[in-house]
A and B are shown apart, each in its own frame.
Chain A
Amino acid sequence: MSVMNMIEALNSAHDVMLARDENVVAFGEDAGYFGGVFRVTAGLQKKYGKTRVFDSPIAEGGIVGTAIGMALYGLRPVAEIQFADYIFPAFDQIFSEAGRIRYRTAGEWSVPLVIRTPYGGGIFGGQTHSQSPEAFFAHMPGIKTVVPSNPYDAKGLLIAAIEDPDPVLFFEPKRIYNGPFDGYYDRPVKPWSKDPRAEVPEDYYTVPLGKAAIARAGEAVTVLAWGTMVHVALATAEAEAIDAEVIDLRTLVPLDIEAVEQSVKKTGRCVIIHEATRTAGFGAELAALVQERCFYHLEAPIVRVTGYDTPYPHSMEWDYFPGPARLGPALKAVLKD
C-alpha cells in the first residue's frame, strides 16, 4: 500500500498494465516524453520506451482513429484526450466506429480501447477546459462510460477498463486529481493523503466496471453522483446533518441498476447531482429509470441538481458549479414532502 493522489494512482495503473501486457500502449498530446499536462503518464516513456508511450499530433480524431486501428491489430491502446472539451473532433470515430465495429462485423472484430480524458469544472478553466460531456457517450451504443471518484477506484477501474474487450470512455474528474474537493471553494484544499481512499496497492487489482459503490450509507434520501459530485454530496450531507445514502455510480454504462433500485426503494427519495448541463444530461436518464422502477416507493418527486444549460462561464465559475449551496436546499426540499 502507498498513499497516492489520483494522478499517481492512474500513473500506477498504466505502469502495472504496461509491465503486465506487452500489447498495452499509451499515447496522446504531450503524453510521451513530458508525461501529459496533468502528469498521468509521467516517467512511463522512459521506463517502457517511446514506441509504447508516445506523443501524438494535435488531432483528436486521428488519435482515436489510429487507436482503433491499433486495437484492430490486437493492441490495447490507452489514448489520452488532453481535455474532455477537446474530444468532439473524435466524435465520429467513437460513435460511428469504435462503438459499432463489434456489432457491424457480428463479432469478427472488436475494439479493446480506452479513451482517458480529464473532465469537469472547478479549476477556472473557462469554456474549453471545464465541461462534463459524459452524457453524449452514455447515449452511444457499444461504449462503456466510467468515472472514478478516488485514487483507489481510479487505478482499479482503469485496469479493468484496459482489460475490457470493448471501448471504454474513462472520464477523470480533474478537480479531484490532487484532493477530494467538496465544493466548498472558499475553504483550504484537502490533500488525498488525509483520505483512506488514497491507500492504493502498488500492484495489480481491479475494480469491476458496472458496479456502483455506496460512498455513504443512509436512510433518509438517495443521492446519485459520480466524480467530483460524490464529494460534494458527502460534504453536503455532513453539513446539513442529513442521513443521505450517497451512491457513487462509478460506471454510467452499463449502469448498476440494482444498487440504484435498492437504495431508492429503501429511502423513498432520490436526488441526482451532476456537473454537466441539465437538459438531456445523464440525470434525466437516471430520473426516468428511477420512476420506472421505484415509482411506488417514491415519497417525493425526483430532483436533479446540475450545471446550467449555458456554456461554462469563466469568472462566474462558483455561480455555475453545483456545490453544497445548490445540493443542500434540494435535499431539504425532497425531505420536506
Chain B
Amino acid sequence: MTSQSERRRNRPALSLHVPEPNARPGDTPDFSAIPIPPAGSALRPDVAAPAEETWPLCTTLVRVLDDEAKAVGPWDPRLDPETLRRMLRDMVVVRVFDDRMYRAQRQGKTSFYMKSTGEEAVAVAAAYALDGEDMCFPTYRQQGLLVARGYPLVEMMCQIYSNRGDKLKGRQLPIMYSDRARGFFSISGNLATQYPQAVGWAMASAIKGDSRIAAGWIGDGATAEGDFHSAVTFAGVYHAPVVLNVVNNQWAISSFAGIAGAELTTFAARAIGYGIAGLRVDGNDALAVHAATQWAADRARANLGPTLIELFTYRVEGHSTSDDPTAYRPKDSGAAWPLGDPIQRLKAHLIGLGEWDETRHQALEEEVAAEVRQAQKEAEAKGTLGNGHFDDVETMFEDVFADLPWHLAEQQRAAVAEAKARGR
C-alpha cells in the first residue's frame, strides 16, 4: 500500500497556462498564424437550413471581396452601386467623426472618446442589412449604426460634450448614446448586459406576433461574461428572432482575445454548443458583413431562431482615449492586419465596378470633413464639458423614477441650495 502523498510524489507537477499574444511592444506584428481562406470559398447554406449546416462556417471565414476587391462566391449580396456608395459614405463619416472627436477630447472639450477605426463595416454594413425598425442593442463601438440610420451628428456630439443640447442631460459618459426613434438602445458600460436584453426584446416581439427582430453586439472579451451564456441559452431555447454579433477585434483593452478563449476555438464556434446557427465573417469586408447579417435576419424573420455571427476584425486604435496600446502591443499592428482596411476595400470594389474613382473619393472626403466640422461648430455652440456643460442641478434628480418621491425631492432641494451656496 502506497500512501496518498507517495502516490502524489510520482505525478508530474501541474502548471497553469496563461495565454500570451505572439507579439509585444518592440516586436514585429505577426498575424501569419491566422488562417485566411480565399474569398468566395465559404458555402452559403439555405436560410432555412438546419443549424448544423452552418457549423463548418464557424471555423472558416465568410469573405466576399477578394484581393482585387472583386465580389466573389455565393455570399455576394449583389447590392446596387448606389447602396454601396451610401455605405462607403457612412463609413467615411464614422472615420472622420472619430478623428474629430478624438481630437476634441485631446483639446479638453470632453472627458472620453472611443474610436471604431477599422471596424466601421461591422456596424454600417449591418445597419444596411437590417430593417430600420429592427431593434439594435449595441456595445460601445457601433456608432456606425447611428450614422447609417441617420442620427444627426450634432446630437451625437452634444452627447459627447454633455452640453445644453445633450438630450441625455449630461448623465452618461461620452459615446453612451441612446436613440429610441432609430431603434438604438442605450449603451451600458457594464459589458454584456445588452445581450440578454436583446434576446428579451426579440422574445417579446415573438410573443406579440410582431415582425421586427432584434440584433445585439458584444466584444470578444465580454463573451466571457455570464450574460453572454444566458443570452445565447435563452435565444436558442425560445428560437428568439435575434442576430447575436460578436465583434472580435482581437483586443479587450490590453488583453488579447486568447484571454477570452480564442486560442481554443473561434467565437463563432460557441454556436455549435448551443445548437444554433453560427457564421464567422471577415468583419473588414462590408459585403460579407451585409450578406451574413441579411442571412441571419431572414432566418430570424422566418421563425428559425437566432444566429451567432463572429465578425473577425481588428481594433486599429487604442481602446479609448484613456488607453495607450503601445504599452502592450506592437506599435503598427493595425497596419499589419492581414484583412486590410474596410473603407479602402469597399472603395476599391466600387472603383473596380467602374462606379467610383479617386477624384470622387477625394471630393467625398472633403464634403464629409466639412459636414463634420459644421456639426462640431453647431454642437460646440451649445457648450463643451469644460465650458457651459449641462449643469441644471434640479435635473439630476429627474427620471430616477417616473415620479419624484419625497426622499429625492428632499435631496434635490439640498443640492440646489448647495449649488447656490457654491456660487453657481
A interface residue numbers (CB < 8 A to B): 25, 51-52, 56-57, 59, 61-62, 64-75, 77, 89, 92-93, 96-97, 101-110, 141-142, 144, 165-166, 210, 253-255, 257
Residue-wise, chain B 62-105 has the 8 Å CB interface mask toward A (1 for contact) of 00000000000000000000000000000000000000000000
Cα A96 to Cα B227 in complex, Å, equals 13
Known contacts A51-B207, A93-B193, A102 near B200 by CB under 8 Å: no
6 tightest A-B CB contacts, nearest first = A69-B200, A65-B196, A62-B230, A66-B200, A73-B204, A254-B405
Known contacts A104-B168, A105-B178, A254-B406, A65 near B401 by CB under 8 Å: no
Cα A107 to Cα B397 in complex, Å, equals 12
Report yes or no: B230 in contact with A68, Cβ–Cβ below 8 A.
no
A210 cross-chain contacts in B, Cβ below 8 A: 405
Q: Is B218 an interface residue (CB 8 A)?
A: no
Q: Nearest-CB distance from A5 to chain B (Å)?
A: 30
B104-151: which have CB < 8 Å to A?
135, 137
B193 cross-chain contacts in A, Cβ below 8 A: 65, 92-93, 96-97
Report yes or no: A69 in contact with B230, Cβ–Cβ below 8 A.
no
Q: Is B167 an interface residue (CB 8 A)?
A: yes
> Whose C-beta in chain A lies nearest to the C-beta of B167?
A106
> Whose C-beta in chain B lies nearest to the C-beta of A103?
B399
Partner of B204, one of A56, A57, A75, A103: A75
Q: Is B190 an interface residue (CB 8 A)?
A: yes
A110 cross-chain contacts in B, Cβ below 8 A: 402
A70 cross-chain contacts in B, Cβ below 8 A: 200-201, 203-204, 207
B156 cross-chain contacts in A, Cβ below 8 A: none
Report yes or no: B237 in contact with A69, Cβ–Cβ below 8 A.
no
Cα A68 to Cα B180 in complex, Å, equals 15
Q: Is B171 an interface residue (CB 8 A)?
A: yes
Report yes or no: B201 in contact with A104, Cβ–Cβ below 8 A.
no
Report yes or no: A65 in contact with B171, Cβ–Cβ below 8 A.
no
Interface size on B, residues (CB 8 A): 47
Report yes or no: B401 in contact with A144, Cβ–Cβ below 8 A.
yes
Cα A97 to Cα B400 in complex, Å, equals 12
Report yes or no: B230 in contact with A52, Cβ–Cβ below 8 A.
no
Cα A144 to Cα B400 in complex, Å, equals 11
Pull 21 A–B residue pairs with CB atoms less than 8 Å apart, ordered by A. Answer: A51-B206, A57-B233, A61-B226, A61-B227, A62-B196, A65-B196, A65-B227, A66-B234, A68-B196, A69-B196, A69-B199, A69-B202, A71-B200, A89-B226, A92-B193, A93-B196, A93-B227, A108-B167, A108-B186, A165-B401, A254-B405
Known contacts A61-B230, A69-B204, A107 near B196 by CB under 8 Å: no
A68 cross-chain contacts in B, Cβ below 8 A: 196-197, 200
> Whose C-beta in chain B lies nearest to the C-beta of A52?
B207
Q: Is B169 an interface residue (CB 8 A)?
A: yes
Report yes or no: B227 in contact with A257, Cβ–Cβ below 8 A.
no
Q: Is B175 an interface residue (CB 8 A)?
A: no
Q: Nearest-CB distance from B314 to chain A (Å)?
A: 29
Q: Is B185 an interface residue (CB 8 A)?
A: yes
Cα A142 to Cα B299 in complex, Å, equals 37
Q: Nearest-CB distance from B283 to chain A (Å)?
A: 25
Cα A257 to Cα B400 in complex, Å, equals 19
Known contacts A65-B193, A66-B196, A75-B207, A142 near B400 by CB under 8 Å: yes
B217 cross-chain contacts in A, Cβ below 8 A: none
Cα A72 to Cα B188 in complex, Å, equals 15
Partner of A69, one of B198, B402, B407: B198
Known contacts A59-B233, A97-B197, A257 near B406 by CB under 8 Å: yes
> Whose C-beta in chain A lies nearest to the C-beta of B240?
A66
Known contacts A61-B226, A74-B204, A109-B180, A102 near B197 by CB under 8 Å: no
